[in-house]
Structure formats: C-alpha cells, structure tokens
Chain A
Amino acid sequence: MRKRLNIYSVSIALGILLTLCGCNKFLDVQSNSGLEVPNSLESFQKLLDASSFVNMHLCSYGEVSADDYFLTESSVNRLSDVHRPAYYWEKYAYFYSNDWSKAYTPVYTANLVLDKLAEIERTAENAADWDRVKGSALFYRSTQFLSLVWTFAHAYDIASSSEDLGIALRKTSNPNIPSERASVAECYAEILNGFKEAARLLPEEATHVMRPSKIASLASLARVYLSMNEFDSAYVYADKALQLNNYLLDFNDPENVSLNLDFPFQRFNRETLSYFELIPSNPQVNFTFSLIDTVLCASYDENDLRGKAYFIENSDGYSSFGGSYTGDRNLFGGLAVNELFLIRAECLARLGRPDEALSDLNDLLAKRYVTGSFVPYENINGRSLLDLILTERRKELVFRGLRWIDIKRLNKEGHNIVLKRRVGEKEYILEPGDNRYALPLPEDIIRQTGMPQNPI
C-alpha cells in the first residue's frame, strides 16, 4: 500500500511539476496574431524609419521663447490662453500635448529598440544591420535629449551643472520605471556617450539623410560641445565631420536655390547631413503668425542673397520666414554643413587661430553673396572676430532651433543678450541669467511624476 501510494504521489507531483515548469513559456505566445510585435532587426529598422514620429519631434518651444521673431498685437490676442503667456515668458500651466510629450516619443521608440535588441545576438551575418539599428537608436535618443535639455534646462556650466536640473533621462521602454530629472551634467554626459557610440556604430553616410550616419553623429557632437562652451572638442568634431563632407550650397545657383520662390530651398538639399524638423504645433512660430525681427531682417547686406532666400516680405512691410531647409513652412532642425562651418570658425577664433577662422567664414559667405560681390574679411581677430562670426551665425541659422541655446550659452560668458517683447503698450524683458531660461515643464507631468518644476 505504502509503495503504491508513493508511486502515485510521485507521478502526480511530477506531472504537475512538468505542466507548470512550462508555465512561462506557455504564456509567452502572442495573443493577437494580426498585430505586429516588433522583435526582429527588420521590425526595429521599421520603427526607426517611421520618420513622422522620429524625425519631426525636435522642440520648438525654444524658438517660441527666442528673439528671431515677434508677433503683432492682434496675433498675440488670437493665441489661446495657454500659448499667449509663453510668448512673453510669463508663468503658466500647460498640459498634454506639448513639446515634452512629442520630444519623448522618439525616445520611447529608441528605448524599445534598444531593449529588444538586447534579446538578439549580434552575429557575423547580422553585424552590419545590428550595428546600424543600435547606432540609430542611440543617435535618435541623444538627439531628443539634446533638444530637450536645451529647452528645459539652463546652459551647461562647469561650476553648477552637477546641481542644475536637467531632463528625465529615460533609458528604458518599461513604462513602470518612474521618470526623474537628472542633473544637467549627467544629461550632457549621456548625450555625448550616445553620439560617440553612434559615431562608432553607424556607417559614414546613410542611405538617406533621414537615417542617422557617422557624419551626423560627429556633427551632433560638435553641436553639443559648442553648447557646453567646450570649444576644443567642438572644433575636433566639427573638423572631422567637415573632412567627410564640406559641400556648401551656392545661393547663386538656381538649380539649388530658387530665389524667385517663397520657399527657395529643396528638402534634402546637398547641405543637409541629417534631416529633422521642429515640432510644428506651437502657433507662435507658425508661419502665419510669426514675423522676423526687424533688426535681424535689416542686417543683411544688399548683395547678401540670404535676405532674399530667407524672408518673404508681406504687404505690411514685415517679413515672414521662407528659408527653411524643409522647403516648406515647417522649420528645419537637422544638421547641415553651414552650421559646421560656423561651429569650426567660432572654435578656431576662440582657440586663437584667427586666420583659419576667417577662412571658414569667408568660404561660407562667398556662397551666400552675389557671385563676385563678396569681399573676404581679412585681418580681424580677438573679440571683434568672434562678434563677427556670432553675428553671421545668427544671420545664417535663423529658425533652426539653435538660437535659444545660443543666447543661454553666450550669456554664460557675459554677452549680455537681453530679450524684449512688446504687446501693445506693455513691454516684457528677459535678463541674462533669469531662471526662466529653463522653460517650465508641463504641469500634468509635474503632477504625475513629482519631478521638481523649474523655478520662476
């Protein structure tokens, strides 16, 4: 009896054990076969190629707050209660949807790809694809982090950045990991790591400028270092990138620039290294509302073709912006060769190499002026050289998503750029070093996560 019982108990126990050990595998099956759950390199690439969700989500909130444009009083009044205060940097609570939500969408995609990629082994056969997918995901993530940190944090400052509030560095697709704000220093470190790893993994040039490449990663690194006021590194990476591609559009060439059109540039023109657009949903910088700062408009020489190429003069005498490298009303925020020339020139000037700096600047401007009309700059150095390059930088890179961080980083060095808005009789001023340079986070995000809001 005893023996028989034991046989039964053992066999039943074994049977149940066998059934249950298979539990987790048994439950791994996909519930709806009609839906695609991304789990192959091919599907990861598809996620990264969904350009309208990946390449179109750089923050435009910085441009909203910057000084390349102004709004007429009637335009201000047409803005909603949520968008109006943002124009003159007034404290306000805003909610979904916004730059924060949009800019983090590609971060999720990148994280999902990186999380799932960890489950796929890198082999000799798939190495090229594997590297490209990983490099692309890292590139996109760092690109978004950079855009966010430029918008929602103060500029990098070696003295205070380990304390300054940065952004949420989300590095997992698991929605249950809470978001926390990292320090500005941590943010920049993460961004740099991402781009450096991407530069190592990605092919020199991509099959399309909407896909990341090594050049784009190098150019991004130059951007990041410049915004950190670390000019030697910025120089190195700008130089590396320019060695791979230094093609500049000649604005005199009707093949490339159709000056007779409102939007003279072509999408994916040859200067473009990596294609991104700024988020179009902020009405302040929408084509129909925004007018170009009149001082900026007047600063172009008669022979400077950028004046014609960039601006559309309206019947009221003010100008709208038509110079986007998107070729339409949307604002370009990607990487292009002209920006690299200006980065390298600025770095060279700051590193005490004025002749090389001037050479870069002259090369650029020669393509911008009416052929033969440009007289190259000579014998300028020191502060006046830097000021010249910075002026040209501003004139060249209008509405490219760079002005807001430029103001912040230059003010860190004492350039004392003061922003002013006028609405009717009322004038608003933003002094250098104002807390409001770190733009406020959405109110619902603060409520949901308990992350600290940027102080006013």
Chain B
Amino acid sequence: MRVVCFVIVMILSGGLCQAQENSVQWIEGTVLSKEDRSPIQNATVFAKEADIGVSTEKNGKFRIRVNSLKDSLGISSIGFQNIVVVASFFENNSTVFLLADKNTLEEVVVETGYQQLRSGESTGAAEVLDKEMLNIQTGTNILDRLNNMASSVRFDNQPIENADLQKLNISVRGLSTINGARDPLIVLDGFIYEGDINNIDPNSIESVSILKDAAASAIWGARAGNGVIVMTSKKGTLGAESTTKVSVNNTLIWKERPDLEKLYQLNNRDFIGIEEMLFNTGFYDRQLSRTPYMAVTPAIEIFHNRRSGMISVADSADMIERLMLSAGRGQYIDNFIRTPFTNQHALSINGGSGKHAYGFGLGYTGDRNENDAGNRKLNVQLSNSFKPTDKLQMDVLILYTNQHEESGKPALSNFTYGNKTVPYMSFFDEDGLPQPFEKEYRRSYMQEMFSEGYLDWDYYPLVDYRYSRTNRQRNEWFASFRTQYRIAPFLDANVAVQYQNQRSERIILDEQESYFARTYINQFMQVDPNTGATTYPVPLGGIRNSAVTNGASYTLRGQLNFNKVFADHKIVGMLGVEARENKISGENVTAYGYNESPLIAIPVDYVTSYRLAPSNSSRTIAGTPGFSRLTNRFVSAYTNWNYVWKQRYGASVSFRQDGANIFGAATNDRWSPLWSVGAFWDVTREEFMKIDWLDHLKLRLTYGYSGNVDLRKTPEPVANIGGSIYTNYPGQVIGTLNDPNLRWEKVGTSNVGLDFSFLNNRIHGTMDYFIKNGKDLYGLSEYDYTVWGLEGTITKNVARMQTKGWDLVVNTRNLNEKLKWDTRLVLNMNKSKTVDYYNSLNMGLASFLGNGNMISPIVGKPLYALAGYRWMGLDEEGNPQGILNGEPSKEYNKIRTQSYQDPETGGSIRYFGSAKPEVFGSIMNTFAYQNVSIAINISYRGGYFFNRPVTWYNTLYNRGTAYPDFEQRWIKSGDEQYTNVPSVQYPLDTGRDAFYANSEINVLRADHLRLEFVSLQWNPQLKLSGRTYDFRLYTNVNNLGLLWTLNSEGIDPEFPYQITPPRTYSLGFQFDF
C-alpha cells in the first residue's frame, strides 16, 4: 500500500507543478440552454487562434485564454447546435445561449459517484434512469422503481436465501459470486450508502445510474463486483440567474386485501376424516400419553374424549358436526385483515444564483398494511452550494430520516394448534363470544394440572396483539461536505467528507396480559413441594426486549479532476484517495417484570437452571445482555482517465487499489489493483458514415475487473472458547485458519456495446454483450492440512463461475402525430454456470432437487437449477414409482442414493435447467395525446423452471397443510390411470413424500408474461399571470397479474399456490412552480 501512496503523491505534485500559466488575455462567460436557460455543463469552448479549449463548469461558466479579442470561439455541446462567437462578445462576461439540437440524441450524463461522464466521453456500459422514468411507478422504495424499467436489474420474488449475504434480493446482470455477498453496491451522492434502502425517499432522487461493466464500475473496486447503483438526489443548481422552484407531490396508494380464501386448504370433512384416520391408527397415542400438555386440534380432543369415555358417541358426533360448519378463515379475514393504504407527501424547494444554490426537501410517508401494522417515515433533505469566488465551491448535503414501525395483528400462519393448521378453526364460541386458542398447550389438561397459582394459560387471539407489540424506530443522518478548488481552468482539487449514522431500535414489549409473558412466567414458576408456596423466577409483569443497532460510517476523500480540451483532443480524468470506516455495533437486552407506570423492571437470575412447567425440562432464563461490534476499514486509491479524439475515438483506463482490515497483510501489501480499459468509436462522426437515416452509432469495447468482499471475513486466526478437558484451565482453540492471502473475489467483465439511433431518433437504444468471469471466488478448497489439520478443507479464493449474456434497450417512436406512441423494450439474457468448485460431499444432480432457491455449485451447471426424479406413474395401490437400475421401483431411498452416486447413467434422475430466469425484460407502450399519456408495461421472464409445490402427507399429518393436488389423489384401484397423486398413506414409507414432491412431473416451465402496471398521466402546462406551472396528475395500477404462462396447468410460477402481490392503485399529483 505504501508504494501506491508514494506513487500517487508524486503524480499529484507533478501534475500540480505543471499547472502554471503565462498571463495573457483571459475572458469569461456563461453558456446556457436557450430553451430553459439552464446552465450547460461540459460544453466545449474552443479558441481557434490560440488553439486551446476548455469545458464549462456545472453552472455553465468558462474561462479561457485568448490571443486577442478577435479570436473566434467555437462553442459546442452534444444535444445543442454549435455556434461560433467572436471573443470580444465575452469582454463583459456575457452569456451565450445554445439552441437545442433536436436531431441529436438527448445527452445522458452518467454519474459514477466519483465523476460525471457524458456519453461522448464514456466507454462504459451504464444505464441511466431519469426522474421521468422513476416517476412512472409509485411506491415507497426507490429500488422498486427500477423494476421492469432497467434492462439489467432482476428483482427476485423468492425469499432471500441467505440474509447474511443478501439484503436487497436484486441482481444486476445475473450472479457473479457463489459464496460471497450478492447485493449490488448502493451509492448515494458519491458515497457508499450502508443504511436501510427503505430510508431513502424516492421523491428526493433525481436520477439513478446502473453501472454494469468494468469500465463503469471498476472505479468502485473491491465492492463493485455485483454491479453498482448510483443514486443522485435533487439539489439546487448554481446558475447565472436566480431562480426558485417549488414542487409539491402527493400520492395515495391502496392495495387490494389479500384473498386468503385462495390459499388451498382441505375442506373440513376431508380434514377431519384424515384426523380420524390418524387418531384411530394411533398417530396421536404417543403424544397424548407422553406429553399430554401439548395442544391437539379440537377434533383430536373430541376423539380422545370419546375414546376415554368422557363424552358419549352421540355427543362426539354432534361436536364433530359442529366443527364441520366452522369457517375459520372467513372469521380471520373479517377480524384481522384490512385494506392496506399508503399516503406519501413531498415538498421540495430548490433555488440558486451565481454564488449560492440551495435545496430543501421534506417527505412524509404513512403506511398501514393488511394486518394493521403501521409505518411512518419522515425525510428531510438539505443541500447548499456556495461559490464565494470563481475558484472555490463548497457543497453541503444533509439527509435525515426518521422511521417508526409498529406491529399489527397476527398473520394467519400464527393460528395453529400445536403447530398444526386446521380449516375449522374458530375465533368465537356458539354464543359469538371470543374463544381462546390452544396454541401450544392443551387447555383441558392445563386446567386440570396447572391451574392453581398459575396465570391463565390461554391465548386470546382477538385481543392479544394489543398486549404484545413490536416497535421499531430508525434514525439516520447522512451528511457530506465537499470543497472544490479550481487550481487551473482544467484542474480541480476536491476534498470531501461523508458521515452516516443509522441508529435503529427494536422494542418488543409483552405486557403481563399477553400470552407470551403469561406463558413464560408460568413456565418458570416454582412451587415448593412441601409448603406449596410459589415463587416467580420470571417475575410478574411485562417482558421487554430491546435491540439497538448503531451503524456509523465515514469517508474521507481527496481527489483531483482534470478536464482539458486542446485542438482535437479531450482529456477527462481524475485521481483520488479515500479512507473509509464502517462500524456496526449492537446490543440486546431483556427486562423482566417490566411495568410502564411506575416505570420499573425486576432483576432476574440468568444463571440458575429451573424446572419448567409443564414439560419438566430444565432451562435458564433467556435474555442475558448481548453485545457485538463489527468494524470495516478500507483505504483506496483510484484513478480514471478518458481520452477523446475528434469526438470520434475514445479510450479509457482506470485503476483502483483497495486495502481493508478484512484482508490479510499479504493482500494489503501487494500492489494488485482492480483495473479496466475501454475504447469507443463513434462511427457516425466518420465522414464516410454520413448517412441520412443514421443519427448515431457508437461502438464500445471494455474489459476489466471489479471485486466482491465478504465483510464478515477476517485475516486473523480467530479463537473459539473451549477445548480444555480433564482440567479446569480455560482453553481456546483456533476455529478458523488465518489466511494472510485472503482477498476479494474478482469479477472480470468483457463488454461489447452498441449505442444506436436511427431515423431522426425514432429508434434508439443500446445493446450490450457481456461475459462476467468470477475468479478467486470464495469456495471450499482442499489444502495442505499439515499447516493446521482441524479441517480438511478451508475457504479460499478458489472457485470460479461465469455469466454470459445480453442487455438490450430499444426505444421507438411508432407514431409521431398528434397521438404519439412510444415503445420501450428492455431485455436481459444471462446464463450462469459454475466453472470450478470443490465439493467434498458431491451429490451431483441430486443437489438440484427441491425448490431451486438455493445455490448449488455443480461444475458446468447454473448456480440455481432444478432436477427431478424420473417418474413411472403410480402402481395399482397408488404408490409412486421411480426408476432403479432400469426397472420401476418403490425403493425411494435407493433411488435417492443412486441419483447422486450415478446421476448420469443411473437413469433415476433428470436434469431440467435453471431455476432463475435466464431471460427477463419488459415492454412498455406509452401513448400520448396532447398532455395526456398512458403507459402499459408487460414483463416477461423465461428460460427457467419451477417446482410445483405438492402435498406431503407427512406435512399434512403434522402441520395440517396441503396443496390442490390433494383433490386428485389416488383413492381407488384404477385411479392410477388418471392421476399422479399418491394415495393417502399411514404409516408413511420414508422417502415417499420426498420422492413424489421432487419428481419430474412437478418440475414445470416457468416462462410467463405478466401485466405489471398501467399508468395514466395528465401533464398540462398551466399559465398563470405570465408564469408557467408544471402540473402532473397521475394514477397507476400495479400488479395486474399473469397474462400467460408456458406451463399447461396455468400456475403462476413465481407464486405457485401462494397469494400473489396485491393489485395496487395509486393516485397522485405533482405541482411545480
């Protein structure tokens, strides 16, 4: 690292020393857009005689040296018509206006976080979504607005597989790691954002850039391997004229109530029939005799009472008949579900003059979900830019977020009898009074054996949530301060500091009235066998658990920006160093005997083991205070240079070296930067390419590396407590071998891209082909265990994977009359495969059995994939049959063994393919007539398979849940002709359920089309006393459902037999003045 530092310092000092000038005539001016008088940044001003060129600043200002006032200045900027002005025009610091060039492409500015690059300078693949695109959808999460808009970002509908490695559940251009972190890097206003993404107010974001290839993302170094999403917030701009813009925005969002009745459940009769069968065959005997205190379902209770003679046969039949009539789910919906509603309000005020610009934003979001859980969020945003002199600029940005969440009513899945769901549950008794629920304990038994001295053991679902509440509070500060000094017209020095602090607090309070507190107190209550006196190791009162997490990060950055035009050459570059720390600390404390008024808690004994009622097992009281602290530190040096010749050819190069306290010393000391190179060729700038219908054609080519780190890793040998036997000496043993060579994973990306525009921009877009090679990925590796010996494999940077694919964005204007019709197509194709991986328990294809939502690295195969057992139908008794050694077989365990010992030739298993979409995209059609427009977005996901959930009888018996295939089950001989659903069986063959569930008949094509949203806007320009006001009224309907799927059953592959995301209606307006 030292060498790097030295080199950089030398470069810096060298660069600075040359920044000296000979005084000649200097003139200054400002370049603004004719249309809206906004400053044009990076316009080229070229003095012909002096043969020198400069670029304009953010505020459109420039300063240039001329030989004489007669010199002519050529002023050009992409998207505007060039003009030539005599230098004397600027003698008194005048302003020149450029006319928008309607024929050329609207220029896109890519914000990389470290610098802004215009498309005429950049070689990299980046996708920029501006305010308009982000506004098409509504919602409270900024990332959700990228869904179906960006070509390369895939939002996964399946639950997060490993919360340690993944929080956002999105991927950019498919996977690039096997065991490493999977989230793309989120950058907010130039700095890594470590906070909760929900804290960001979508209304405060001006644009989002998605950096996809190495030339774009390698500048973020060791954390850019999964792609980088750069967000830029709205700010005031320094301009020649003083302006003030106020914008008010309100959105109301309703969601449909989830239709829980759609979730399959057995009808009461079938369900009770199965329960009766189980009871009569002795399924419950063991439980009822050994653990009589454990809850059983109401039907089992009745059967038990009948068998033990407590009720008559007639009575029991009567009671069962009554159960048959219960419709618990309907009662649940009536009492626990409401229509979710969200309201969002935002106000922003921006303004600026030549020397000062400011921005102020205020946002409020209120949300109540279907279970009545609430969330309130307040966002305050403040930005200020000062420019006391022409050379010095200071920017301050402060974001504050306060978020409060409170829990609501319990979810449906909470209502179980000893973990078993029943369709005939009931919340009210015959008289319509609230009825207690037997959650864990059997009421009849507890009343008989454990009532005296104990608190009530019953659970009252209709009121319990009032006494058992979870509150979350999150406060976040994100602030940055930046000073920029213009050393020379072409050279800026920049020092920036960023600080972020997020504190979140979660409090679970279970008052003494709550089921949880009563049960816990009861379990620990001790009765003296001699005197009968009772003591309460868990004291009477509430139980309050608080978990506080504090995250603080800071970044210190020094950077030089270089921007110079001379003759046909243009060089844009930067060079910087950065130190960064992120610290997360947490604590978790439980208080017992808690009372709000007077505010007290009672100490408890965490050490002694107590005999628990009613199970008689021994346990200590949970909740000893716990603390944690994680510190990540990075030191980085980076540089990026872009060179453009005649606006026709461009080249770029970037380097970044990272050192971190999670890498080993050997890694930190070695000079091995992540780098990228790139080139472009703007074909249309060639004389021979002046073709009428071709507006723009640019070919890009890049290659380079970015990295990926697991922030939990440590280079130090870490000791676990223990290991001492026969003595009382405290021992500790190294549980993880230290690896001084531990380093980041490397993702090498090759990208070939094409930007195109035809027919007066009627068709324009980009197309990219990429190959991502994940190298040095964390993976298990055989090693020389002579060095340690405690494990046969260790995690090293050894695994490899590859993802290849296409990104495509095409915008067309199909009709350009009074009615305008635009189409935007975004499409991504990506295929990933494991290239190199060591698997000590190599199960081959058998690893792909299941739901496909887990990474299974098998060389040559996608990371997520599905396989199924070969299916030979049901036999004449309704048992499923597979293939074993070429013969139909019911030896499920042998089939299983065969399928991983000999997957290829054994014939027991069949491989299907990827379990994640290899193709995804969307097509959005926008129709505009005058100031009304409507956008319709349809998404496509394809090239993958899903596993249809089916009934496991074992789960049905124990948990009470089943799937619709139950209706088609084999019932009588001959049914095997028509159905593939095995017969109800008890006792179960081991492996029978798993064999059927994982067989090939349940692996289906998942390709589908979905109507994502329809959005309508009315956007009139209101003229009031000479001023124009921008008004926008919009409405949006989201999640309109499945249009088509390739599987013949018509099952929604993303949500098979589940509640699909609710249809969402929003209505809102925005008013700018």
Using a CB–CB cutoff of 8 Å, the interface residues on chain A facing chain B are: 1-2, 5-6, 8-10, 12-13, 15-17, 19-21, 23-24, 26-38, 43, 45-47, 49-53, 95-97, 100-105, 107-109, 112, 168, 170, 173-179, 208, 210-211, 267-268, 275, 444-445, 447-449
Q: Which residues from A are CB-within-8-Å of B732? A: 36, 38, 43, 46-47, 50
Q: Which residues of A contact B716 (CB under 8 A)?
A: 30, 37
- Given A31-B631, A175-B783, answer yes or no on A51-B5 (Cβ-Cβ < 8 Å): no
- Provide the bound-state CA to CA distance between A17 and B5, in Å: 7
Known contacts A31-B632, A175-B739; decide if A47 and B668 are in contact (CB<8 Å): no
Of A27, A34, A47, A105, which one neighbours B659 at CB under 8 angstroms?
Answer: A27
- A449 to B784: give the CA distance in the assembly, Å: 6
Count residues on chain B whose CB falls below 8 Å from chain A CBs: 75
Of residues 453 to 485 in B, which have CB atoms within 8 Å of A's CB atoms?
485
When chains A and B are docked, how far (Å) is the Cα of A283 from the Cα of B312? 62
Q: Is the interface of A mostly helix, strand, loop or mixed?
A: helix
Of B487, B637, B713, B785, the contact of A101 (CB 8 Å cutoff): B785
Task: Enumerate chain B residues within 8 angstroms of A10, measured Cβ to Cβ.
Answer: 13
Contacts of B688 in A (CB 8 A): none
Query: Which A residues are in CB contact (< 8 Å) with B556?
Result: 19
Given contacts A38-B719, A38-B732, A105-B788, contact A33 B631 (CB under 8 A): yes
Known interface pairs A23-B635, A175-B737; A51-B786 also in contact (CB < 8 Å) = no
Query: What are 10 A-B contacts with C-beta separation under 8 Å?
Result: A16-B577, A20-B4, A30-B716, A32-B718, A49-B727, A105-B788, A105-B789, A170-B787, A444-B785, A448-B783
Known contacts being A37-B719, A47-B733, is A27 close to B661, with CB within 8 Å? yes
The answer to whether B20 touches A109, judged by C-beta atoms less than 8 angstroms apart, is no
Query: Which chain B residues lie closer than 8 Å to A170 at the CB level?
Result: 786-787
Check A17 against B9 for contact (C-beta < 8 Å). yes
The docked-state distance in angstroms from the alpha carbon of A175 to that of B853 is 35
Q: Would B9 and A16 count as touching, CB distance under 8 A?
A: yes
Q: Is the CB of B633 within 8 A of A27?
A: yes
Query: Given the complex, which residues of B lie within 8 Å of A38, measured CB to CB?
Result: 717, 719, 732, 734
A20-B577, A101-B785 known; A26 vs B719 contact (CB < 8 Å): no
Q: Which residue of B lies closest to A441 (CB)?
A: B786
Answer whether A210 and B635 are a contact pair too, CB < 8 Å, given A47-B734, A179-B787. Answer: no
The closest CB in chain B to the CB of A326 belongs to B726
CA of A177 to CA of B660, assembled, Å: 23
Contacts of A20 in B (CB 8 A): 1-2, 4-5, 8-9, 577, 635, 637
Residues on the A chain within 8 Å of B12, using CB: 9, 12-13, 16
CB distance from A282 to the nearest CB of B (A): 16
Instruction: Say whether, besides A101-B789, A104-B787, A445-B785, A19 and B719 are in contact (CB < 8 Å).
Output: no
Given contacts A19-B558, A175-B739, contact A26 B579 (CB under 8 A): yes
* Min CB gap A422→B, angstroms: 34
- Bound Cα distance from A91 to B523, whole angstroms: 61
Proximity string of chain B (485-506) to chain A, C-beta cutoff 8 Å, 1 when within and 0 when not:
1011000010100000000000
Given A9-B16, A13-B16, A19-B556; A101-B792 close (CB under 8 Å)? yes
How would residues 589 to 625 of chain B score, 1 for a CB under 8 Å from any chain A CB and 0 otherwise? 0000000000000000000000000000000000000
Provide the residues of chain B in CB contact with A26, threshold 8 Å: 579, 633, 635
Contact of A50 among B2, B23, B723, B741 (CB under 8 A): B723
Q: Are B558 and A104 interface neighbours, CB within 8 A? A: no
Q: Closest Cβ of chain A: how far from B775's Cβ, in Å?
A: 19
CB neighbours of A210 from chain B (8 A): 726-727, 729
B731 part of interface (Cβ distance < 8 Å): yes
In this complex, what residue of A is CB-closest to B737?
A175
Closest-CB distance, B643 to chain A (whole angstroms):
24
In this complex, what residue of B is CB-closest to A37? B716
In the bound complex, CA of A8 to CA of B721 (Å): 53
Chain A nearest CB: distance from B736 CB in Å?
Answer: 9
Contact of B792 among A23, A33, A97, A447 (CB under 8 A): A97
- CB pair A168 B738 closer than 8 Å: no
Cβ of B253 under 8 Å from chain A: no
Distance A105 CA – B4 CA, assembled complex (angstroms):
38
Nearest 7 CB-CB pairs, A to B?
A9-B16, A50-B723, A96-B792, A50-B731, A20-B5, A49-B729, A105-B789
Chain A proximity of B638: nearest CB distance (Å): 13
Residues of A within 8 A of B2 (CB): 20-21, 23-24
Identify 5 new A-B residue pairs, CB closer than 8 A, beyond the known A2-B20, A36-B721, A46-B731.
A16-B5, A37-B716, A47-B734, A170-B786, A174-B740
Assuming the contacts A5-B487, A19-B558, A30-B631, asked whether A267 and B16 have C-beta atoms less than 8 A apart, the reply is no
Bound-state Cα–Cα, A13 to B15, Å: 11
- CB neighbours (8 Å) of A178 from chain B are 784
Does B21 count as interface, using CB distance less than 8 angstroms? yes
Instruction: Given A23-B2, A104-B789, decide whether A51 and B726 contact each other with a Cβ distance below 8 A.
Output: yes
Cross-interface CB contact of B790 among A21, A53, A211, cutoff 8 Å:
A53
**Cα(A119)–Cα(B725), bound, Å:** 29
Residues of A within 8 A of B738 (CB): 173, 175
- The interface residues of chain B lying within 8 Å CB-to-CB of A95 are 792
Partner of B630, one of A32, A43, A47, A101: A32
